[in-house]
Structure formats: C-alpha cells, structure tokens
C-alpha cells in the first residue's frame, strides 16, 4: 500500500452489510436479546435500525418503553448471540476484490464500522483483505456512533485526506446520514437489504447492488482511478 501524501484520497467502507454478509444475523441476535429482556420488537423494525451503533439502537427501538438500567444487558446479550456466528461470517461477493481494486486506483482504504472492535476483528478475518486496508475505526473509538458524524470524521482523520477527496461506501440510511453531517460523499449498496429509494433519500450520491456491482462499474464511479 504505497500512496502519495500529496494527493491523498480516502475510500471509507462500512463493513456490516457492505463488505460482510451480517445484517440479518444482527437482526436475529437483537430480536432474541430484546425477547430475553421482555420486549417484543418486530424483526422488520430491527432491520431498519441495523447500522446504528449498539450505544443507540436499543433506545431508538424501545422509545418510552425503555429501561435505561437494563439496556446494557440487552447489548451484552446481543454481543454474545452475534459472537456465536463469528466462525461462519462470510464476505459478500466481490468485497475483497473491490478493496484491492480501489487501493490499486490510489485510494487509501479505511474501514469505518459502528461495530465493536471485537466484532470488527471477526469481520476482517472473514474479509481477508488486510493487505490493502490502511486503517480501521470501530464504535469503540468514538463517543457517539452513526448517524452521528463522529465515526466518519475519525476515519477521515486516520486516512489523512480532506473530506472533499473522501468517498464512503455503506448500506444503511445511518451511513448516509452520518456522511451528510460529516461532509463526505456517500455511495450506497443494496447488500444490507435497505431499499434503493431509502438510501437515495438519506443522501446516497449513487446506489449499487453490492460490492461486486460497484467493482464492475468502478471506472465510472466516484471511486475511479485518477485520469491519465
């Protein structure tokens, strides 16, 4: 990974649902964690909230019925239930190849995930592309996760590129909203199960079917290599 400091460009990537096929595993894990705490939360509602950090998700879904004293137990239950899937996590088609192609095009590749550091490490093992990942940030590195801009801003700082030369790829409306607040161009992918219209409305500049589709259209995308 050799990049010119004078022409730094950063490609930030969400991981859950964007590069690794985890969103529905999270839905089931959160559903069971809520059930264990005595809450019935529809899976469809949970799915629309995936991508928001665990520090915000329970309160967002439970609203006035939440018990702040028990939220940590819900988060811990979700973490334990989701961790059972670590050995079988699978990268989405084209994900690693996309990161390598973007790196070859001269972009600094930085992962920007609201997941915990432990969860991010498991997804990186599934992705198997550390040879082209310049840096990574997780929900453990910021005080407030998506849709707050903190995580995106931290990833931009680590990349060492100005926001005008930074592009983010994500799969949820929370990714798009965080990028809008951070002043970063956002591209959406449908691999997390969120509808195209929702991503566009939340601020996605373009929307692709998934990593493989973005890779196939890379030269015509905002992540194209420099013009010769």
In this prediction, residue 105 carries a pLDDT of 96
CA angle, 180 as apex, 170 and 212 as ends, to 5°? Answer: 20
Start-to-end Cα distance in the chain = 20
The candidate with the shortest Cα–Cα distance to 192, out of 204, 210, 179, 177, is: 210
- Across 3-12, 134-143, 151-160, 219-228, least confident range: 3-12
CA atoms within 13 A on the CB side of 224: 8
In this prediction, residue 1 carries a pLDDT of 57
Parallel, antiparallel, or unpaired: how do β-strands 185-189 and 108-112 relate?
unpaired
In this prediction, residue 7 carries a pLDDT of 60
What does the pLDDT look like over 149-200, one tens digit per residue?
999 999 999 999 999 999 999 999 999 999 999 999 999 999 999 999 999 9
C-alpha span between 219 and 228 (Å, rounded): 13
User: Beta-strand (E) ranges in 65-131?
Assistant: 108-112
In this prediction, residue 6 carries a pLDDT of 46
What does the pLDDT look like over 88-112, one tens digit per residue?
999 999 999 999 999 999 999 999 9
In this prediction, residue 228 carries a pLDDT of 45
Contact in structure between 219 and 225 (CB atoms under 8 Å): yes
Reported as type and span, the H/E element at residue 64 is none
Cis preceding-peptide flag for 174 (omega within 30 of 0): no
In this prediction, residue 3 carries a pLDDT of 52
What does the pLDDT look like over 185-196, one tens digit per residue?
999 999 999 999
- Given a cut of 60, whether residue 83 has pLDDT beyond it is yes
In this prediction, residue 152 carries a pLDDT of 97
């Amino acid at each position: 990974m050799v990049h010119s400091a004078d022409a730094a460009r950063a490609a930030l990537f969400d991981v859950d649902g964007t590069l690794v096929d985890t969103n529905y595993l999270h839905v089931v894990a959160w559903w069971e964690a809520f059930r264990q705490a005595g809450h019935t939360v529809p899976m469809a509602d949970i799915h629309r909230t995936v991508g928001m950090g665990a520090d915000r998700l329970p309160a967002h879904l439970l609203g006035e019925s939440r018990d702040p004293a028990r939220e940590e137990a819900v988060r811990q239950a979700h973490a334990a239930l989701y961790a059972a899937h670590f050995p079988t996590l699978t990268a989405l088609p084209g994900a690693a190849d996309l990161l390598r192609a973007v790196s070859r095009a001269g972009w600094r590749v930085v992962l920007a995930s609201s997941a915990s550091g432990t969860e991010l490490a498991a997804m990186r093992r599934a992705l198997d592309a550390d040879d082209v990942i310049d840096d990574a940030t997780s929900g453990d590195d910021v005080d407030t996760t998506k849709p707050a801009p903190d995580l995106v801003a931290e990833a931009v700082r680590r990349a060492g590129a100005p926001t005008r030369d930074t592009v983010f790829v994500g799969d949820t409306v929370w990714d798009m909203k965080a990028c809008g607040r951070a002043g970063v161009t956002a591209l959406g992918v449908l691999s997390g199960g969120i509808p195209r219209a929702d991503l566009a409305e939340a601020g996605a500049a373009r929307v692709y079917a998934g990593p493989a589709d973005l890779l196939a259209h890379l030269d015509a995308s905002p992540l194209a290599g420099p013009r010769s």
